[in-house]
Structure formats: C-alpha cells, structure tokens
C-alpha cells in the first residue's frame, strides 16, 4: 500500500466538463458495442438453430458493422466491461448541470480559461479566488465583491475600477453561444407568463385538491359554568379534610 502525499490539483469546471464529455462518448460507444454484441449473438443463434415457426420477428443483422478481428475484440471487451445505468445517469447529470444557463462553463474554451488564469495573476489574487473567478466567470463588479476578500483594502485606491477591469477580462474570454457539440446538453430555463385563465384554473385545481384531502377539523373548547363539565381552578378546589 502506497500513501500519496502529493498536493491535490484544483480543476476548473471546464476541465471537469471536458473530462465528462470524453467519458460520455466512451460510455455511448460501449453501449453501442454491447448492443451489437448481443444482436450478433442472436443472429448467429437463430442461424445455427432455426425455428420451425417464428414466434417473434427475427433479429435484423443488416445494421451490424462488418465483423473483423478488431471489431470482435472491441465487442468482446465491451461485453466484459458491462454497462452501468447509474454511471450513465451521473455523467448526464454532471454534463447537464455544467451546461445549464446559470453556469457559464458551456461558453468557455480551453484557451480562454488558460488566458484568464494567466491574466488574473496580475491582480495579486489567491489560488482559490482565481479558481472561483474562472468557474463562475463574473462579468459584473458586484459579483466580484462576493468572491474577492477585502476588496477595498487590497485594491485601494480605485477598487471599483480594478473590479471593472477584471470583469471585462472575464467577459472577453466567453463565447456568445455554446459550441455546437454541447447543444444537446444545454438546458435553458423558460419562464412563460401564465394567462389569467390559466391562473384561475390552477387556483380551482388547488381548491379541489384541498376538498378531496379534507379540511383540518377545528375544535372549539367551551367552558361550562356549571354541571359535570365545569372544572374549577386549583385555588377554587375545596377539600373537606383540610381546614
């Protein structure tokens, strides 16, 4: 057993996205190779043991690639490695998050990230601050106030001008639109104003749901002034055995 004492390296969101895109392509290729392997086995089995009466449609092997030694090795390796739905789901969720609207990673490039990291060295920022600026890509000075500590004292005088300069440097490294290969993963939040009719229908649905579930019963407590239901206070109790 070997214990690693090396300092862990910090990765930007763009590096993580590039890595997961490569994993996604490998996973998709693995899935397709396993499907080809299974289909090829079904075709070979149907040819070796033909049925007198077909119950289902026979497997169609016309879409399979030509079988060569290299293809056979790839399909056998894919069948040996197996397929994990959970791993594919994790990959899809990470890529979908990094390509969402509130994360600028999809509009970054490897050259732009490297250029921004080098440019930020001129502002005497810490490694953590540089990494956050690269990942969040703030384009407004007010956003940089939440990332850089003690802005007024560190950039005195002219702290606001320095923040505007950093924001312009960040904006200069961003693309206007995500690249074409990331379009399938880009998720955009759509805010559609609902009409009054739709709003009223939604309110009626909520009221119907409350009627179906039943309203909470309200209990009213009444104090009787006489009879068996009357309960006097502690001081009002009269005990005959105590004088």
Per residue in 14-68, pLDDT (tens digit) is: 999 999 999 998 888 888 888 888 888 888 777 777 776 666 666 777 778 888 8
Q: Which two tokens stand for residue 107?
A: 């509009």
- Residue 193 has what pLDDT? 43
Listed in order, the ranges of the chain carrying CATH 1.20.1250.40 are: 108-171
Query: Helix %, strand %, coil % for the chain, to 5?
Result: 55, 0, 45
pTM given for the model = 0.65
Per residue in 85-126, pLDDT (tens digit) is: 888 899 989 999 999 888 899 999 999 999 999 999 999 899
Angle at 145 between CA 141 and CA 151, to 5 degrees: 105
Q: Give the fold, CATH level 3, of 108-171.
A: Growth Hormone; Chain: A; (1.20.1250)
């Amino acid at each position: 057993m070997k214990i690693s004492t090396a300092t862990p390296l910090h990765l930007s969101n763009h590096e993580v996205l590039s890595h997961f895109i490569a994993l996604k392509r490998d996973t998709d290729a693995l899935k397709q190779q396993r499907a080809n392997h299974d289909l090829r086995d079904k075709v070979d089995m149907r040819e070796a043991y033909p049925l007198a009466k077909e119950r289902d449609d026979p497997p169609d092997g016309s879409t399979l690639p030509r079988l060569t030694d290299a293809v056979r090795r790839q399909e056998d390796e894919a069948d040996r490695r197996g397929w994990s739905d959970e791993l594919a789901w994790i990959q899809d969720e990470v890529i979908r998050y990094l390509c969402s609207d509130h994360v600028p990673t999809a509009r970054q490039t490897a050259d732009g990230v490297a250029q921004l990291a080098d440019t930020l060295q001129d502002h005497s920022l810490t490694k953590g601050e540089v990494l956050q600026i690269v990942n969040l890509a703030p384009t407004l000075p007010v956003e940089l106030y939440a990332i850089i500590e003690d802005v007024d004292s560190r950039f005195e005088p002219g702290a606001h001008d320095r923040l505007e300069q950093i924001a312009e440097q960040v904006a200069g490294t961003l693309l206007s639109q995500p690249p074409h290969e990331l379009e399938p993963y880009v998720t955009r939040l759509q805010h559609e104003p609902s009409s009054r009719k739709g709003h009223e229908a939604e309110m009626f649905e909520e009221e119907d749901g409350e009627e179906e579930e039943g309203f909470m019963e309200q209990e009213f407590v009444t104090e009787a002034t006489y009879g068996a239901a009357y309960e006097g206070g502690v001081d009002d109790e009269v005990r005959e055995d105590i004088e």
